[in-house]
């Protein structure tokens, strides 16, 4: 049995949900009239954003349009994140603020789903302390949204469905995409790596890869519909199709998507250094449509800490990989993630992280102070360094990265980049991204938006660039 068969939602379940879809549609129409509105908000990573596009697809099929104004909504759905405590606190705060709205509107429904509520203890806390929330459903139940909408609206049921298990792949869900020219394309779900600090494997289930034919078909359709950027998503795209029965790997998938005719670019994230091979870097280098941007989280520059994190590589292996990547793609832009203050990390060990940053020439970095996640291995490790001290280290790290980014971006002044124009900045300039994923802003008309333009860099501002249109 292939991965896809093992993880597929059964045909009976799909049929059942299609029936619920019709029933939910009728109920929504009778309660809210012809233009019901849903407010959908996503916390966390791109995988969640992509999942929400499917949730919106289902809501749209039930008749809902969408609003950004909470007070206008007939249904409020928060797709939540559990990666750090701060992310959870934000959700709790924002959900708490919905209480009066819910009490004032009899037919309003509040739904919470995703990673945060997949944790049994959190689901329990919401049931007890936020009893005005109508529906809670975990990461293994997203495809059952039609059922939940029907049961809560037609029957007035309070629902809490957090099925445990390895997770599903549900292929035939409708989708409402947030953009008409940039698309998220999930190629796999879940994670098997169990980095000791990380909650993801517990809340998003086992790693499972989508059928390559369906991914390629989706990419072809996106290009035909005018999409200019496709970002392939997975927690660790380098292990796509890793099970022996699959017979297909990420490099091959990249090459085949690169072969699709049309004017578009391909991005992917996230890469894991332990599975990132020279073959993949060679493939990136040789595929003209693949953006020369690699997001390669290193997390720590200290071998002892990396081992405790269960990352499966050393700092030497990481630096060697980067050197090879820069040797085959001199223009490559590398971004990364780093954690400061992992349990037991000493200041000297933290300095090894600073040293790795100095050697790596990252374009930008996402830096996080370690946040204990209940149930993970690291949460049980002794953690003697006080939070204030970690804050001091964190600011030191930001200063080092700022210095490096300033130098890197200033080197781009005078160069010309092909830029996908995305929208407008606060100052009214056109805002887009270079292949290296650096934001560049420049004067230009609305006709630029959603197209590629050549832009020459005139000024660098640490993290972003200013430029001038060439054409």
- Taking CB under 6 A as the rule, which mask of x and - marks residues 258-277 in contact with ligand SF4? --------------x-----
Position 373 contacts ligand 5AD (CB under 6 A): yes
Contacted by 339, from ligand 5AD, ligand SF4, none: CB < 5 to 8 Å by type:
ligand 5AD
Contacted by 111, from ligand 5AD, ligand SF4, none: CB < 5 to 8 Å by type:
none
Using CB under 6 A as the binding rule, the residues of this chain from 160 to 219 that contact ligand 5AD are: 197-198
Q: What are phi and psi of 467, to 5 degrees?
A: -150, -170
- Dist. CA 276–CA 273, nearest whole Å: 5
Contacted by 368, from ligand SF4, ligand 5AD, none: CB < 5 to 8 Å by type:
ligand 5AD
Position 191 contacts ligand SF4 (CB under 6 A): yes
Cβ atoms 467, 449 nearer than 8 A:
no
Q: In what order do the strands lie in the sheet with 229-233?
A: 182-186, 229-233, 265-269
Q: Which is nearer to ligand SF4, 193 or 258 (CB)?
A: 193
3-state secondary structure string, 211-272?
CHHHHHHHHHHHHHCCCCEEEEECCCHHHCCCCCCCCCCHHHHHHHHHCCCCCCEEEEECCC
Query: Taking the complex as a whole, how short is the minimal distance between the CB of residue 372 and ligand 5AD, in angstroms?
Result: 7
Burial annotation 247-275 (CB, 10 A radius, 16+ → b, else e):
ebbbbebbebbbebeeebbbbbbbbbbbb
Q: Figure out which of the listed residues 122, 159, 195, 449 binds ligand SF4, where binding follows CB under 6 A.
A: 195
Query: Taking the complex as a whole, how short is the minimal distance between the CB of residue 255 and ligand SF4, in angstroms?
Result: 24
User: Is residue 57 classed as helix, strand or coil in its secondary structure?
Assistant: helix
Helix (H) or strand (E) holding 161: strand 159-161
Query: Taking the complex as a whole, how short is the minimal distance between the CB of residue 13 and ligand SF4, in angstroms?
Result: 27
Burial annotation 365-376 (CB, 10 A radius, 16+ → b, else e):
bebbbbbbbeeb
Q: Figure out which of the listed residues 140, 235, 258, 437 binds ligand SF4, where binding follows CB under 6 A.
A: 235
- Whole-angstrom CA distances from 71 to 39, 42, 330 are 9, 18, 51
Contacted by 431, from ligand 5AD, ligand SF4, none: CB < 5 to 8 Å by type:
none
Position 237 contacts ligand SF4 (CB under 6 A): no
CA angle (388, 392, 397) in 5-degree steps: 140
Q: Which stretch binds ligand SF4 (CB under 6 A): 53-61, 157-165, 192-200, 425-433?
A: 192-200
Q: Figure out which of the listed residues 17, 251, 299, 335 binds ligand 5AD, where binding follows CB under 6 A.
A: 299
Cβ atoms 152, 177 nearer than 8 A:
no
Q: Which is nearer to ligand SF4, 14 or 242 (CB)?
A: 242
Position 201 contacts ligand SF4 (CB under 6 A): yes
First to last CA, the chain: 53
Contacted by 191, from ligand SF4, ligand 5AD, none: CB < 5 to 8 Å by type:
ligand SF4
**CA proximity to 9, closest of 167, 211, 218, 175:** 167
- Dist. CA 306–CA 357, nearest whole Å: 15
Position 370 contacts ligand 5AD (CB under 6 A): yes
Query: Taking the complex as a whole, how short is the minimal distance between the CB of residue 377 and ligand 5AD, in angstroms?
Result: 11
Cβ atoms 159, 20 nearer than 8 A:
no
Position 200 contacts ligand SF4 (CB under 6 A): yes
Query: Taking the complex as a whole, how short is the minimal distance between the CB of residue 38 and ligand 5AD, in angstroms?
Result: 28
Q: Which residues bind ligand 5AD (CB under 6 A)?
A: 83-84, 197-198, 297, 299, 337, 339, 368, 370-371, 373
Q: Which residues bind ligand SF4 (CB under 6 A)?
A: 191, 193-195, 198, 200-201, 235-236, 272
């Amino acid at each position: 049995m292939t991965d896809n068969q093992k993880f597929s939602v059964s045909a009976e379940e799909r049929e059942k949900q299609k029936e619920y879809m019709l029933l939910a549609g009728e109920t929504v129409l009778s309660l809210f009239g012809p233009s019901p509105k849903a407010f959908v908000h996503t916390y966390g990573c791109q995988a969640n954003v992509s999942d929400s596009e499917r949730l919106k697809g289902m809501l749209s099929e039930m008749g809902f349009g969408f609003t950004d104004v909470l007070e206008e909504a007939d249904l409020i759905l928060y797709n939540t994140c559990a990666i750090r405590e701060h992310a959870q606190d934000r959700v709790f705060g924002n959900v708490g603020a919905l209480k009066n709205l819910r009490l004032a509107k009899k037919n309003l429904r509040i739904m919470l789903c995703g990673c945060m509520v997949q944790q049994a203890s959190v689901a329990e806390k919401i049931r007890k302390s936020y009893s005005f929330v109508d529906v809670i459903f975990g990461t293994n139940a997203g495809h059952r949204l039609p059922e939940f909408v029907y049961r809560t609206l037609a029957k007035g049921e309070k629902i809490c469905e957090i099925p445990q298990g390895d997770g599903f792949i549900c292929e035939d869900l409708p989708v409402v995409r947030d953009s008409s020219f940039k698309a998220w394309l999930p190629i796999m779900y879940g994670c098997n790596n169990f980095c000791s600090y990380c909650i993801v494997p517990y809340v998003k289930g086992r790693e499972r890869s989508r059928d390559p034919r369906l991914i390629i078909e989706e990419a072809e359709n996106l290009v035909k519909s005018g999409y200019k950027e496709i970002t392939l998503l997975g927690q660790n795209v380098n292990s796509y199709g890793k099970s022996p029965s699959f017979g297909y790997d990420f490099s091959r998938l990249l090459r085949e998507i690169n072969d699709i005719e049309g004017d578009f670019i391909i991005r992917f994230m996230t890469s894991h250094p332990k599975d990132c091979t020279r073959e993949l870097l060679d493939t990136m280098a040789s595929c003209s449509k693949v953006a020369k941007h690699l997001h390669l989280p290193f997390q720590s520059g200290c071998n002892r800490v990396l081992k405790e994190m269960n990352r499966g590589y050393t700092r030497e292996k990481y630096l060697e990989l980067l050197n090879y990547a820069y040797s085959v793609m001199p223009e490559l832009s590398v971004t990364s993630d780093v954690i400061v203050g992992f349990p037991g990390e000493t200041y000297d060990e933290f300095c090894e992280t600073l040293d790795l940053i100095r050697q790596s020439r990252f374009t930008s970095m996402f830096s996080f102070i370690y946040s204990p996640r209940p149930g993970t291995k690291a949460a049980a490790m002794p953690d003697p360094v006080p939070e204030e001290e970690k804050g001091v280290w964190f600011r030191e790290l930001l200063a080092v990265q700022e210095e490096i980014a300033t130098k890197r971006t200033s080197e781009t002044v005078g160069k010309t980049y092909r830029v996908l124009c995305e929208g407008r900045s606060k100052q009214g300039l056109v805002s887009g991204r270079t292949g290296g994923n650096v934001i560049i802003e420049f004067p230009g008309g609305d006709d630029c938006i959603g197209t590629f333009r050549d832009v020459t860099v005139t000024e660098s501002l640490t993290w972003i660039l200013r430029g001038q249109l060439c054409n």
